[in-house]
């Protein structure tokens, strides 16, 4: 491993969330959060979203992008993370 590879491995890099998810959160659900606050570990609760907001997120995603989210997307709770939602987006058809 080169020094540059080691530095990259040690520096915390923010894993990417699907752009669609970020767009829905900031656009449709009016989440006021900076990019550094939106990570896979961020919970919906910390963004001020409740169960009803999460259902709105699922419906908005299906309408906006013409996708069908898997059943587990309906199991999102305020304590769920953006990473959980990203996984549902990854498996959308």
Over residues 31-65, the pLDDT tens digits come to 998 767 899 999 999 999 999 999 999 899 889 88
Q: Which residues pair with 81 in a beta bridge?
A: 43
Greater pLDDT, 74 or 44: 44
Domains of the chain: 15-90 (1.10.1200.10)
The secondary structure of 11-44 as a DSSP string is: S--PPPPPHHHHHIIIIIS-----GGG--TT-BT
């Amino acid at each position: 491993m080169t020094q540059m590879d080691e530095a990259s491995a040690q520096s915390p890099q923010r894993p990417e969330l699907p752009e669609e998810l970020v767009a829905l959160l900031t656009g449709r659900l009016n989440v006021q959060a900076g990019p550094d606050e939106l990570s896979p570990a961020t919970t919906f609760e910390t963004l001020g979203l409740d169960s009803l907001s999460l259902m709105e997120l699922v419906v908005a995603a299906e309408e906006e992008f013409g996708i069908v989210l898997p059943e587990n997307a309906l199991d999102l709770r305020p304590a769920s993370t953006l990473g959980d939602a990203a996984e549902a987006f990854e498996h959308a058809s």
